[in-house]
A and B are shown apart, each in its own frame.
Chain A
């Protein structure tokens, strides 16, 4: 796609989308959102990048291969479930604690959030893996 406008604006739009996706992930537990939709949005942001510029540039922007992202996500979710096993509770029991952050105050942190981060990574990785492959295939053809 050779649109100068898109070429230059895509970076800003991408940044906003990524920010939004992280926001969706973080407050998903209490407000509408969550890892799944956040991951989708993050993937969409990079797809926009790929469409506006090219896949190679988008791959560089993601930094890690989408397949690695999938693996990392699965591992994150799995490990978040193992934390409760360590404390002697069944697999995937939510463990919660509070963390005091500067400026924000006390924040509740729990393993479900980590689990959701895994979902986020897997979903984003899956979508990116398929889309990038398709885009590259189209260029190859």
Chain B
């Protein structure tokens, strides 16, 4: 019996600073197998992969054993590791935007990868590079060799990164969140490509992901990690059908899901409700780029939408669809090029002086990035108080009481008042941002991807908190997200955007359950469903769809 492609035993990785990143991880990987390493942030999944390829960050100490076909890798000197990297183990990273050298052509980078292991040079290298680009299904490979990374789309960049990894025909491919930074439709294409590469070349793949949908879509076997330890290991179907460990069950439960198509019954479109809507977009247009530079691009192109009081409007779409711009428009953060935006019936752009301040009081904004959404110099208490201070609401004491009330409403203890944002986790910071947004009892809340930077289980908590607050306080909300399942969970109404235009809008249940537009259907199809049985059923269909 030959040794397995990869065998990791009792791997532990520690740093001088806090607790160990990896406590004890053991994995075995067979020929042409796709293994998924699943876990939330801090589970040690990326560190494990880096240990395999010998690229641990400085100061990391690894113990245990990592064997490639029986040969020990851990503790090898740099020059021997270098011969293994790229040649026997290759790695694909999360962010294709930065994974390629911006000032070198694609062809140069490919030939550099080939040169590293002294295989081919010159004309032969060029031919091999073309062949590699063809392998990752990039059109016009000859021409693309002369391209710089910025001339390619995100998905194409990730394909080039994949081509680099495959250049020296490694036995093992490590893919660290290879599709996380991509749009869903692109993600589906890359996942399909990975599987085809495995089928064609017999390369074993370790895919590192937090996304249960991706796992269900591609993996043969799954290892669930938590806090640097393996909690469960199982064949994919088995894991989804009968998760044994409670943590796996929690992870699966926390994943927001979309309705299964066809299960939906017809939902009546609500009749035009009376009363002043909370927010109205009336043939709104926004341009990006400056006229001086001669390139004016429409970011939002003739959007008309309305949001009734107490309702949640979900804006969904891929990058470049204009969803974020629409949200910023409602908050008055972007200048309009045409049309009207009315908040509670009043034109935000036209309001001046006192009226403008009054109007602004009724608005609030929650930003995507928990790192930057709070002023690092403000204590949590001061951050939540700020809107009250701005408008001079009530006495000092009543403001303090209100802050405590809000902290309690977002389920944070009063002891957090004196803390600084730096001392809070991402999920806690987003809750504080939510509390601050609710300080003045807004009529309209704009939430721009408020949970996309959070782990699934934390996202589930924040979403649940958001939904219950929304029901209790009855504010209207524009909820922006690239994640259809998340929007499905919180939104009453949904608008699907593409290239600055509304493709389809209506009640969430109807749009997601029974999409009227072809693009919506494609978006929905591309979302990897956290259920491996679906993959078996739809796999071929997906392939067709990409072709």
Task: Tell me, yes or no, whether A binds B.
Answer: no
Residues of A whose CB lies within 8 Å of any CB of B are: none
Residues of B whose CB lies within 8 Å of any CB of A are: none
